[in-house]
Amino acid sequence: MLHVENLTKKLPDGRLLLDRVSLKVSRGEFVGILGASGAGKSLTLRCILGLTKADSGTATLHTEACGGKSYDLLTCKGREQRNCRRRMGVIFQGFNLVKRLRVLDNVMIGRLARIHPLRSWLYGFTDAEAAEALEALRRVKMDMHADRITGSLSGGEMQRVAIARAIFQKPAIYLADEPIAALDPSNSLGIMKLLAPLAQETPVVGVFHQPEMTARFCTRVVAIKAGRVVYDGDPRLSHNQLQDIYGDELMQVLRPAPTTPEPAIAESSRSLPVLANFA
Amino acid sequence: MSTLTAAPALTPAAYVPPSAQFRRRMIWLGSCALLMVLGGVYLKFKPWMLFTDFHHLVRLGGEMLPPNLAMLWHKPALFKTIGETVAMSFLGTLLGGAVAFVLAFFASRNTAPHRLLRAFTRLGFGLERATPNFVVLLVLFIAFGYGPFAAMLALALGSVGLFGKLFADAIEQADPGPCESVASVGATRLQVIRYAIIPQILPSVVANSFYAFDVNLRAAIALGVYGGGGIGFELQLAMKVLRYPDVLALILFIIVLITGMERVSDFVRRRLIQSSESLK
């Protein structure tokens, strides 16, 4: 379905943010991308979506519907790019819903690319589309809130609405950028329980910070470290593998060892050369 | 010595002693006072005139009283002129607002098709705001003749600059997250504007429109004095024929009109904002 190969992104000064990232997602998969902050997980998704321009590499999306058309995601522009985006349902970390619109309107935005632009301006969506959007909301158990203003929802509720929008969009693949990073544990669990069955129909690629969640729900895990794919395989990672991915610093946070560097810090702050000079 | 070289990074460089602060304050005050005196001398302003010539003001006040409130029923045409003034400001605000609403998207960083176009539109708004209303009116008189139509157009043109800047600022402050997510489903630029930006800026557009209506109502009266018609023109006529009780009555009507309209627009605005807040 989704095939990313040698995706590379550089800073203007030549530093590599993404270094030949390759990954493959096929039908029925729920792929979790893990990695420390700044490793390039979200950037990978943004490049696939065309929200950030990649420097080199390829990303192709094959769809089984519409006669097995495939889309070149990195080079497309304009109308072609909108066609690509239409086939990717995106779920953002910050939900990114339009807070002043009703919940149902936000779900219906998922179909904007399929209706005539003139109709979207002058008339809006039809009753039939609204009924279908309500069905999508029912699937995430938010149909009773359809008429509320989105800004009044809680974070977990907003993320459900965002998922309903992605479902209503009928994409060929779901891309989720840290969908549970801003949620509490029970809401996170709820979102994962929604995404896992979705993945059985349409593949889901998600960026996560919770190895225990990906171990429980994902079918495969890809780990990125400093812009490079360092692991691709079974979602149940061992302690050593996690240490490789997140580096030693994180492991120290998780298991604080009796520290020795503290006196050194105290010493340097005690000297206060300025005050000494004033006196 | 090594501690000395390390010191500069932590020295409070911006420190100003109180005595210097006092001196600085005195210099500012002194220059303001000097400018005031110079201005007074230039205008031949004599403060004692406020006391020696005060009786003129008292006499004028005496001539104005009692206000000729009977105008209200003896002169039904008065209502027509009040209606003219209100219609002028209402239509001017609506027309100017509509034009500015479209132009504002060209003047905002996040929606402008091109950087230069944005700078150009912003410059236009600025120039427009810098042009006094009555200068525009005088030009329009030449084109359309005296009367409320020219005044309405002058108000509309005057609103474009103010509205344009306010709307463009609101658009630039819109949260980019929803715009990005609406774009991510494959929406066109125009669809992003319609579904992500307009819902976000609508409350500010409504509130600013009511504010501009209040401003334009005052301006409509002033433009009336120059020949734009409406109650301002009536006031100027009464002054020219020295009917001071009429003048006072008209001034009272204007005060009532402005405060009344302000109350109405304030009420509607608050209701609109409240309803959108409570839905939120």
User: Which CATH number is A54's domain given?
Assistant: 3.40.50.300
Query: Do B28 and B90 fall within a single domain?
Result: no
In a domain, B58, yes or no: no
Q: Which residues of B44-58 are buried (b: 16+ CB within 10 A; e: fewer)?
A: eeeeeeeeeeeeeee
Q: Which of A95, A98, A113 sits opposite B199 (nearest CB)?
A: A98
pTM of the model: 0.72
Contact of B190 with chain A, judged by CB distance below 8 Å, is answered with: yes
Chain A residues touching B178 at Cβ < 8 A: 96-99
Contact of A152 with chain B, judged by CB distance below 8 Å, is answered with: yes
pLDDT digits (tens, 9 = 90+) for A177-197: 888 887 888 888 888 888 888
Contact of A63 with chain B, judged by CB distance below 8 Å, is answered with: no
Instruction: Please give the C-alpha separations between residue B181 and each of A103, A177, A207, A243, B189, in angstroms, as whole numbers.
Output: 15, 12, 17, 34, 12
In a domain, B60, yes or no: no
CB–CB of A51 and B280 under 8 A?
Answer: no
In a domain, B65, yes or no: no
B239-278 residues touching A, CB cutoff 8 A: 276
pLDDT number for residue B30: 96
Q: Which residue of B has its CA nearest to A111?
A: B185
User: Which CATH number is B145's domain given?
Assistant: 1.10.3720.10
Contact of A185 with chain B, judged by CB distance below 8 Å, is answered with: no
Q: Which of B3, B11, B181 sits opposite A92 (nearest CB)?
A: B181
Q: What is the DSSP string of chain B?
A: -HHHHHGGGGS-TT---HHHHHHHHHHHHHHHHHHHHHHHHHTT--TTHHHHTHHHHHHHHHHHPSP-TTHHHH-THHHHHHHHHHHHHHHHHHHHHHHHHHHHHHSSTTT-S-HHHHHHHHHHHHHHHHS-HHHHHHHHHHHH-SSHHHHHHHHHHHHHHHHHHHHHHHHHTS-HHHHHHHHHTT--HHHHIIIIIHHHHHHHHHHHHHHHHHHHHHHHHHHIIIII-SHHHHHHHHHHTT-HHHHHHHHHHHHHHHHHHHHHHHHHHHHHHHHHHHH-
Rounded to two decimals, the ipTM of the complex is 0.75
Q: Where are the beta strands (DSSP E) in A217-268?
A: 220-225, 228-233
Burial class (CB in 10 A: 0-12, 13-18, 19+), A85: buried
Minimal CA–CA distance to A41: which of A184, A219, A179? A179
- Give the residue numbers spanning the domain of B20: 2-42
Mean pLDDT on A147-163? 86
Q: How would residue A263 be classed by pLDDT, with cut points 50, 70 and 90? A: very low
Contact of B205 with chain A, judged by CB distance below 8 Å, is answered with: no
Question: What pLDDT tens digit does each residue of chain B (280 aa) get?
Answer: 444 444 455 555 677 788 889 999 999 999 999 999 999 888 888 878 778 877 888 888 887 788 777 777 777 778 888 888 888 889 999 999 999 999 999 988 888 888 889 999 999 998 888 888 788 888 888 888 787 888 888 888 888 888 898 899 999 988 888 888 888 888 888 889 988 899 888 888 888 888 888 888 888 888 888 877 778 888 888 888 877 888 888 888 888 888 988 888 888 878 776 665 554 4
Q: Residue A102 carries which DSSP code?
A: B
C-beta of residue A110 within 8 angstroms of C-beta of residue A89: yes
Q: Which residue of B has its CA nearest to A149?
A: B280
Kindly state the tokens that stand for A61.
């999306």
Query: Do B146 and B255 fall within a single domain?
Result: yes
Minimal CA–CA distance to A8: which of A53, A73, A71, A75? A53
In a domain, B52, yes or no: no
Query: Do B150 and B30 fall within a single domain?
Result: no
Mutation pick from A274, A275, A278 vs chain B, by most beta carbons of B within 10 Å, is: A274
Q: Which of A82, A88, A101 sits opposite B188 (nearest CB)?
A: A82
Minimal CA–CA distance to A84: which of A175, A205, A204? A175
In a domain, B59, yes or no: no
Q: Which residues of A34-58 are buried (b: 16+ CB within 10 A; e: fewer)?
A: bbbeebbbbbbbbbbbbbeebeebe
Whether A115 has a pLDDT exceeding 70, the answer reads yes
CB–CB of A121 and B10 under 8 A?
Answer: no
> For residues B81, B85, B91 and B96, what is the CA-based torsion angle, rounded to 10 degrees?
150
- Give the residue numbers spanning the domain of A74: 2-87+171-278
Query: Do B134 and B253 fall within a single domain?
Result: yes
Contact of B13 with chain A, judged by CB distance below 8 Å, is answered with: no
Query: Do B121 and B215 fall within a single domain?
Result: yes
Cα distance from B266 to chain A (closest Cα, Å)? Answer: 22
Amino acid at B236: Q
Q: Name the β-bridge partners of A206.
A: A32, A176
In a domain, B48, yes or no: no
The Cα–Cα gap between B15 and A176 comes to 51
In a domain, B47, yes or no: no
Query: Do B14 and B91 fall within a single domain?
Result: no
CB–CB of A90 and B184 under 8 A?
Answer: yes
Mean pLDDT on A245-249? 70
Q: What are phi and psi of A76, to 5 degrees?
A: -70, 155
Query: Do B135 and B256 fall within a single domain?
Result: yes
pLDDT number for residue B3: 44
In a domain, B55, yes or no: no
The Cα–Cα gap between A164 and A138 comes to 8
Chain A residues touching B275 at Cβ < 8 A: none
Contact of B15 with chain A, judged by CB distance below 8 Å, is answered with: no
Mean pLDDT on A155-168? 88
Instruction: Please give the C-alpha separations between residue B109 and each of B121, B159, B220, B224, in angstroms, as whole numbers.
Output: 11, 21, 33, 38
The Cα–Cα gap between A152 and A106 comes to 13
Residue A66's H or E segment, with its range, is helix A65-68
- Helix, coil or strand: residue A128: helix
The Cα–Cα gap between A158 and A179 comes to 11
Query: Do B163 and B37 fall within a single domain?
Result: no
Q: Residue A135 carries which DSSP code?
A: H
Sheet holding A2-10, edge to edge: A16-25, A2-10, A56-62, A70-72
The Cα–Cα gap between B196 and A40 comes to 28
| Total domains, chain B | 2
Query: Do B25 and B86 fall within a single domain?
Result: no
A85-114 residues touching B, CB cutoff 8 A: 85-90, 92, 94-101, 105, 109-113
| Total domains, chain A | 1
In a domain, A212, yes or no: yes
Cα distance from B172 to chain A (closest Cα, Å)? Answer: 16
CB–CB of B184 and A85 under 8 A?
Answer: yes
